[in-house]
Amino acid sequence: MSAIYILWLRQLKRYFRSRARMIGSLGQPILFLVALGFGFGPIYEKAGGGNYIDFLAPGIVAMGILFTAIFTGIELIWDRQFGFLKETLVAPVYRFQIMAGRTLGGATVATLQGVIILILATLVGFRPENLLMLPVTLFFMFLIALLFTALGTAIASMLEDMQGFQLIINFLVMPIFFLSGALFPLQGLPNVIMDIARIDPLTYGVDGLRATLIGGAHFGVGLDLFLLIIMTFFLVFLGSWLFSKVEV
């Protein structure tokens, strides 16, 4: 357990030491929230959808978590190139503990990022409907972070260069985000798009956040929670298995 704690703490120290990284990772979510929230807000309201910022904010929180979580995988490649990973792997601990510490650390950082975005969203007009549901919201945020941190680690375990990782992640991350319903309602979508959305794990994260923050869920909070837990366990297992095959 000490190895898990040390690696978890190391991830947190990396995050808090890099102020540029902290501020930079907030830029895109806030831009989306302000530009789309106020830009499309009147159109969304005229269409009978209500307050677009309230609808949009849970999706932007999920976006911030997604980007922060999945890009933690690049730190694995960085550590491999500079020798830190070799020092870690020769330590007398199981590789699963190393994977668990890195994943929990990355997920904690991504969850903190989501909390910051949620707080900033309240400054531009977002208001949660039920504050008693905030603990459930935090649990959903942590599940999203854990899932995509594990995915980032799984991908990074199969690669040796940062350029390849960035290309693959950029290819994956935008479709995952845009097809999750973060920016638009899922009702009335073409069948093909809806089928893709159903296999997108972020869809259930966004839907769960929306259910707990504004009381509007497409699938239902129970189904969202169940599927997110199943997908998270699968990706953590996959990431652990791929990490166990890493050679340095």
pLDDT of residue 86: 64
pLDDT of residue 142: 95
pLDDT of residue 198: 92
pLDDT of residue 17: 63
- Cα–Cα dist 21/12, whole Å: 12
- Cα–Cα dist 37/34, whole Å: 5
- Tens place of pLDDT for every residue, the chain, 248 residues? 565 666 667 666 666 666 556 666 777 888 888 888 888 888 877 777 778 888 999 999 999 999 888 888 777 777 777 666 666 666 666 777 777 778 888 888 899 999 999 999 998 888 888 888 999 999 999 999 999 999 988 888 887 777 777 788 888 888 999 999 888 888 888 889 899 999 999 999 999 999 999 987 888 899 999 999 999 999 988 888 887 776 65
Q: Give the number of other CB atoms < 10 A from CB of residue 149.
A: 32
The CA-atom distances, in angstroms, between 88 and each of 61, 76, 138 are: 33, 11, 31
Beta carbons of 142 and 228 less than 8 angstroms apart: no
Residue extents of the structural domains in the chain: 2-244
pLDDT of residue 248: 57
pTM: 0.89
- DSSP string across 28-84: HHHHHHHHHHHHSHHHHHHTT---HHHHHHHHHHHHHHHHHHHTTHHHHHHHHHTTH
pLDDT of residue 74: 77
pLDDT of residue 14: 66
- Cα–Cα dist 213/83, whole Å: 43
Quick one: tokens of 22?
A: 């902290």
pLDDT of residue 147: 94
DSSP class of residue 199 equals: T
pLDDT of residue 223: 93
pLDDT of residue 226: 95
